[in-house]
Amino acid sequence: MEMTSTSLKRGCLVVEDNDSMTPHDETKKQKVSEGCVTSSQDGVENDGLHSSENEPGPPEAESTVKDDENSSVQVQEEEEEEEDGLSEAGEEEEAESFADMMKHGLTELDVGICKFVSSHHGFSGILKERYSDFVVHEIGKDGRISHLDDLSVPVDEEDPPEDALTVLTAEDRQQLEELQLFKNKETSVAIEVIEDTKEKRTVIHQAIKSLFPGLETKTEDREGRKYIVAYHAAGKKALAKVRAAADPRKHSWPKSRGSYCHFVLYKENKDTMDAINVLSKYLRVKPNIFSYMGTKDKRAITVQEIAVLKISAQRLAHLNKCLMNLKLGNFSYQKTPLKLGALQGNHFTVVLRNITGTDEQVQQAMQSLRETGFINYYGMQRFGTTAVPTYQVGRAILQNSWTEVMDLILKPRSGAEKGYLVKCREEWAKTKDPASALKKLPVKRCVEGQLLRGLSKYGMKNIVSAFGIIPRNNRLMYIHSYQSYVWNTMVSRRIEEYGLRPVPGDLVLKGATPTYIEEDDVNSYSIHDVVMPLPGFDVIYPKHKISEAYREMLAADNLDIDNMRHTIRDYSLSGAYRRIIIRPQSVSWEVVAYDDPKIPLFNTDVDNLEGKPPPVFASEGKYRALKMDFSLPPSTYATMAIREVLKMDTSIKNQTQLNTSWLR
């Protein structure tokens, strides 16, 4: 069942975060960011793959960027023909209720989240009752918050006229695309000019050349009628250039114009990869010509900057007429693409509806958030939703226990999963035949499908190679989940042992270099300066009791803290540093009264573009809502900030058990 709202009773909170999904790798020198030190810029984007286990995003402390492909959405060539959607028959619901399934899920305690920093009494509320209650605006490196506030197209004399985008019919477009890609036996396509004027013929010529690079056009008279005839000027050798993502529209792109069109993408209830896949289909290009600085979650309204290679602002703006829940604007041409992780953070506008806290409680909670902050835990979505936490897979990889890796990913488990996955797991448990289990998956781009394909190709005795078929970023997510689990646990121990003050032996950063706090220096630092390491071969550990706690925790998992290099280079962890307390910036709030749960409580960018007046609130109403605004660096989780305000467990397990009315 789809979870469409989340009621936060005492002890329970929300599931889905929309924090900046700026991924990470552990294989290079540490770099400092507001919430962390990055150990590399080696992306762990999800490659456009569907993750069936709610795989963790990469630990955001270590913000990362792809080595060679920026933040491109990856598409497996052999899977391009797969349907994106799943058949209804493949998604039969089990009789077991969602609440029953989630009895087997994780709680915050299971992943080391157990401390708060504030002393106020918590209260309950509803987060994401409407996806429009959670709005995220990306903050660029220059500190500018992205807004969609301009739909105009830059004036460019070399752009075709606006009519060029509408003059061709759907049938014309289909025939021309098939001709362009040599998908039919025809050598040309003839389009009759119904209203024959020179201007009309010119527009058709421009439309074909701009929308279908590689085709040339000419005008012919046939039995007294005028036709525009499209054909390949260079024969089939032109096809390679047409198909090359690195060389689209080369012949028609003005030399004076930057190669990348940057624009602001406003999206509702759709994640970044889905949005880019939609745009690429409408534009008939590959998704990997798009780049971005961070991914944004689905159940929210988000605003972020996107760049695309050699697609004109005019073509992009035209999509606004046919897109649902997406809007493009603020166009400009630049010389470079965007790089994953090259952002300052995100600004959040969050509404918690139907709150139970008094005005005094709200005031105490929000002042504490503004002045002290919250523990910079990795959130629950890092660890999956089923009875097999993703950190367990990561631990098995680090242990070189490949049979266990295979078993953990493929074995049946309790928890919320789609029916086709349940059947696939059952088939695997019964037959241990990867080909047979694979047949149960209508879409094979999930991690299970990738692994089963690998096992079919390489055999059960070569699990390492079979696992290697899973895109690198997805494989690394498991390891990063384990690091996140260790970090959460150790930070809870650190706060339990020493409280919210720096002590001798703690680590702080000077530039990108970690140094110890000495006895004489304690008063020179605050708790906001203290960092803790994610385990790896290139980090140092605190010089107090927590250092031994790290060693004991890894030893209990049969791992040697002094040897975090793996026999397979990809799985060697260099480590990173992450601040233990984050203080949000630009914190503001107000409590408003309302009667109708369906009315929006603030205007979005699109509302403002359409000239809608802001909502007016009565002094009293049936319900009260807390509207919060705050900015976070890219390594942090908004749900962890909200957890501190409400004093609640953010796990789905706790939430569903304590709040069955939410499910109804």
CATH of domain 141-154+254-343: 3.30.70.3160
Map tokens 């069955």 to a residue. 660
Do strands 301-309 and 134-140 pair parallel, antiparallel, or not at all (unpaired)?
parallel
For residues 495 and 322, the model is more confident at 495
Q: Is 297 a catalytic residue?
A: yes
Whole-number Å distance between alpha carbons of 432 and 454: 14
Q: Name residue 630's beta-bridge partners.
A: 348
Q: Are 17 and 381 in contact (CB under 8 A)?
A: yes
- Average pLDDT over every residue of 318-338: 93
For residues 386 and 490, the model is more confident at 490
DSSP 597: T
Residue 374's CB is within 10 A of a number of other CB atoms, namely: 23
Q: For 198-216, what is each residue's pLDDT tens digit?
A: 777 888 887 887 777 667 8
Whole-number Å distance between alpha carbons of 410 and 67: 30
- Average pLDDT over every residue of 465-485: 90
Judged against a pLDDT cut of 50, whether residue 332 lies above it is answered with yes
Judged against a pLDDT cut of 70, whether residue 71 lies above it is answered with no
The two domains 141-154+254-343 and 162-245 share their CATH topology (first three levels equal) = no
For residues 96 and 485, the model is more confident at 485
Identify the pLDDT of residue 235.
54
Judged against a pLDDT cut of 50, whether residue 438 lies above it is answered with yes
- Domain range summary for the chain, segments of one domain joined by +: 114-135+347-376+582-648, 141-154+254-343, 162-245
- Average pLDDT over every residue of 332-356: 93
Q: Are 215 and 176 in contact (CB under 8 A)?
A: yes
Return the biggest CA–CA distance within the chain. Answer: 97
Mean predicted lDDT score pLDDT of the chain: 79
Residue 473 confidence class, pLDDT cut points 50, 70, 90: confident
Residue 256 confidence class, pLDDT cut points 50, 70, 90: confident
Judged against a pLDDT cut of 70, whether residue 26 lies above it is answered with no
The predicted model scores a pTM of: 0.73
Q: For 118-139, what is each residue's pLDDT tens digit?
A: 989 999 888 777 788 999 999 9
- Average pLDDT over every residue of 25-37: 37
Identify the pLDDT of residue 112.
93
Residue 142's CB is within 10 A of a number of other CB atoms, namely: 7
Q: For 527-545, what is each residue's pLDDT tens digit?
A: 999 999 999 999 999 999 9
**CA angle at 590 for the pair 589 and 593, rounded to the nearest 5°:** 150
CATH of domain 162-245: 3.30.1370
Judged against a pLDDT cut of 70, whether residue 312 lies above it is answered with yes
Residue among 297, 506, 538, 649 flagged as catalytic: 297
Q: Name residue 266's beta-bridge partners.
A: 303, 327
Radius of gyration of the chain (CA): 27
Q: For 137-149, what is each residue's pLDDT tens digit?
A: 999 999 999 999 9
- Average pLDDT over every residue of 613-638: 90
Identify the pLDDT of residue 58.
39
Identify the pLDDT of residue 187.
78
Residue 220 confidence class, pLDDT cut points 50, 70, 90: confident
Judged against a pLDDT cut of 50, whether residue 103 lies above it is answered with yes
Two structure tokens written together for 111: 């992943």
For residues 81 and 603, the model is more confident at 603
Q: Are 598 and 316 in contact (CB under 8 A)?
A: no
Termini Cα distance of the chain: 11
Sequence-distant (6+) residues with CB within 8 A of 384 are: 53, 54, 55, 56, 106, 390, 481
Distances (CA, A) of 472 to 25, 66, 476: 10, 11, 6
